[in-house]
Amino acid sequence: MPALRQRKEDIPLLVEHFVSKYCANLGVPQKRISTDAMRAIEKYHWPGNVRELENVVERMIALETSEVLTTKSLPEAVLLGGSIPDVTFDLPPDGISLQDHLEAIGKIFMMKALERSGGVQTQAAELLRMSFRSFRYYAKKYDLIPREGKQEDIVEVENEK
């Protein structure tokens, strides 16, 4: 049998089946799924196939208090799954430092989030779905914001006035 990602036309029927099944099993009124939530589900690649889809629908029904299942009750992996491009590259013969590479990518995303938020760190943290504390830690680590108490930062701030 082909993988679920190769049978996208089956997804809406399976979702409706699982919604009915779990509403009955959990003793909650019949729910319906929003168009946006269905689109997100259809875009996802479903590496866990039908079993993963069933688990996601069951989770949505358990979490959603209203009669409409929305994207708010979808796991982040499903929400992002349709928008994450396939990244292909060759590993250099001498290898790479994965940690350094991931940090460089993280720094780029943090810079873009700060740019998009006009430098407002709380908004940048929200864009990256990070806590403000984590965002501030990494922003300081990557020298994206002045560190308190560093003499050159104090001088820079005074010169800007």
Domain-by-domain residue ranges, the chain?
Answer: 4-81, 98-148
- Answer yes or no: is pLDDT of 59 > 80: yes
How is domain 4-81 classified at the CATH fold level?
Answer: Helicase, Ruva Protein; domain 3 (1.10.8)
Distance CA 32, CA 66 (A): 10
pTM value > 0.95: no
Tell me the pLDDT of the chain averaged across its residues.
84
Task: Report the top-level CATH class of 98-148.
Answer: mainly alpha
pLDDT higher than threshold 60 for residue 159: no
Tokens (6 digits) for 98: 């994965």
Looking at the DSSP bridge assignments, the partners of residue 32 are 68
**Are the folds of 4-81 and 98-148 the same?**
no
